[in-house]
Amino acid sequence: MTRLSTDGSAKKRNYSFVYIRSLGCLAVICMHVVYSALLLSKENLSFTAKFISTALTYCLMWAVPCFVMVTGALLLRPEKKIGYKQIWTRYISRVAGALILFVLAYRVFDVFIDREEKTVTNFLLGFKEIFTGDTWAHMWYLYLLIGLYILLPFYKKIAGASDGREIKYLLLVYFIFISLLPVLEIFELETAFYIHVSTIYPFYLFAGYAIASGIIKIKKPVAAAVFVFATALTVLITYFSLTTETELAPLIGYSSVPVVLQSLSLFALIFSKNGEEPAHMKKPIALFDSCGFGIYLVHMIFVRLILRYAEFDPYQYPWSFPLLIAGIALVSFVIVFLLRKIPLIKKFL
């Protein structure tokens, strides 16, 4: 989700990354609207409504991995020189500043909207939430970014010192141990073998770099076919999980095989070395993309206000879902666009 540019040279901007981030931003809003509506209304929904909502939520989980892949494609390039000072003063400070600003803002929001007792303790609770992460759920992404940035110098050394075969080996190891082997848990079979990493996200970081640099080449028709297959598989897994009440977490999370296949194939499908865009489309798409990080932070305020506090139930008017998603995206964009006019706030958005 971060708005990362190229190295500042005269090289033209690759709009492939703009497309991926913008599409991912819309997918996140759609996912949060549908999932929030599902949580608030699931006791009164038909099986069909539950199935469609759950399947749509799972089918959009490629968004965050694609954000991470864009970050890897841009920052792991050998020609992109990044020192420790730049990592901490530009990348980490920006995300950490946004984290502090919005966690505290959400705390104030909760105190007033949830009608909590307006005490100093309740307001100061936000500082504890910054550390513990006990804030609004979507903020996990900022903690993820900070963790990746902290280790970025070492990720860059790996990328710069490794040839194509070694990068492929690294990705294969990650995929097998973080994505594939956990599937065995569904059959109550756990392996004692593991590698010393805890999440799938470095895999996505290196995968974005590998595809963008040509280490991994996926033809567009193949990418399209894999994406359709992985999406269909996700729908089938969702249906099976709901009808049998079987716990299938290893097949529906960010590290699951279907999401990995979706993310890599969609990234490969959209990415182009040139990444050109007709002149009349450049400005609006780039402008939306430039506000993407802020939109991610702001949109949940409207999701909560409309669905939770105004108690609007979009399931009573199914046609309202696309209008609700588009409206939240538009209002969030306008607010972030205006906030970015304020120099101090623009630094974090």
Confidence at residue 196, expressed as pLDDT on a 0 to 100 scale: 82
The rounded distance, in Å, linking the Cα atoms of 68 and 63 is 9
Model pLDDT for residues 37-80, shown as the tens digit of each residue: 999 998 889 999 999 999 999 999 999 999 999 999 999 998 88
Confidence at residue 8, expressed as pLDDT on a 0 to 100 scale: 38
The rounded distance, in Å, linking the Cα atoms of 253 and 59 is 10
341 CB-near residues (< 8 Å, 6+ apart)? none
- Of all residues in the chain, what percent carry a pLDDT higher than 70? 94
Confidence at residue 189, expressed as pLDDT on a 0 to 100 scale: 87
Q: Quick check: 278 pLDDT over 50?
A: yes
Confidence at residue 11, expressed as pLDDT on a 0 to 100 scale: 56
- Of all residues in the chain, what percent carry a pLDDT higher than 90? 77
Q: Quick check: 277 pLDDT over 60?
A: no
Confidence at residue 119, expressed as pLDDT on a 0 to 100 scale: 87
Q: Which of 9-13, 61-65, 209-213, 243-247 has the lowest mean pLDDT?
A: 9-13
Model pLDDT for residues 91-107, shown as the tens digit of each residue: 999 999 999 999 999 99
Sorting pLDDT into bands at 50, 70 and 90, what band is 198? confident
Confidence at residue 9, expressed as pLDDT on a 0 to 100 scale: 40
For the entire predicted model, the pTM comes to 0.92
Give me the phi and psi of 342, to 5 degrees please: -90, 115
Q: Quick check: 281 pLDDT over 90?
A: no
Average pLDDT, rounded, for the chain: 91
Q: Quick check: 223 pLDDT over 60?
A: yes
Q: Which of 82-86, 154-158, 274-278 has the lowest mean pLDDT?
A: 274-278
Q: Quick check: 295 pLDDT over 90?
A: yes
The rounded distance, in Å, linking the Cα atoms of 41 and 225 is 34
Q: Quick check: 275 pLDDT over 80?
A: no
Confidence at residue 73, expressed as pLDDT on a 0 to 100 scale: 96
Which bin fits 133, alpha (ψ -120 to 50), beta or left (φ > 0)? left
Q: Quick check: 1 pLDDT over 70?
A: no
Sorting pLDDT into bands at 50, 70 and 90, what band is 276? low
Confidence at residue 221, expressed as pLDDT on a 0 to 100 scale: 96
Confidence at residue 5, expressed as pLDDT on a 0 to 100 scale: 42
Over residues 154-179, the mean pLDDT reads 95
Q: Which long-range contacts (CB under 8 A, 24 or more apart) does 234-243 make?
A: 234/55, 234/58, 234/59, 234/258, 234/259, 234/262, 235/55, 235/59, 237/58, 238/51, 238/54, 238/55, 238/58, 239/51, 239/55, 242/47, 242/50, 242/51, 242/54
Over residues 179-186, the mean pLDDT reads 90
Confidence at residue 194, expressed as pLDDT on a 0 to 100 scale: 82
Q: Which one, of 26, 106, 95, lies nearest residue 333 by Cα? A: 26
Over residues 284-294, the mean pLDDT reads 92
Q: How far is CA 343 from CA 1, 126, 346, 347, in A?
A: 20, 24, 5, 6
Q: Quick check: 177 pLDDT over 70?
A: yes
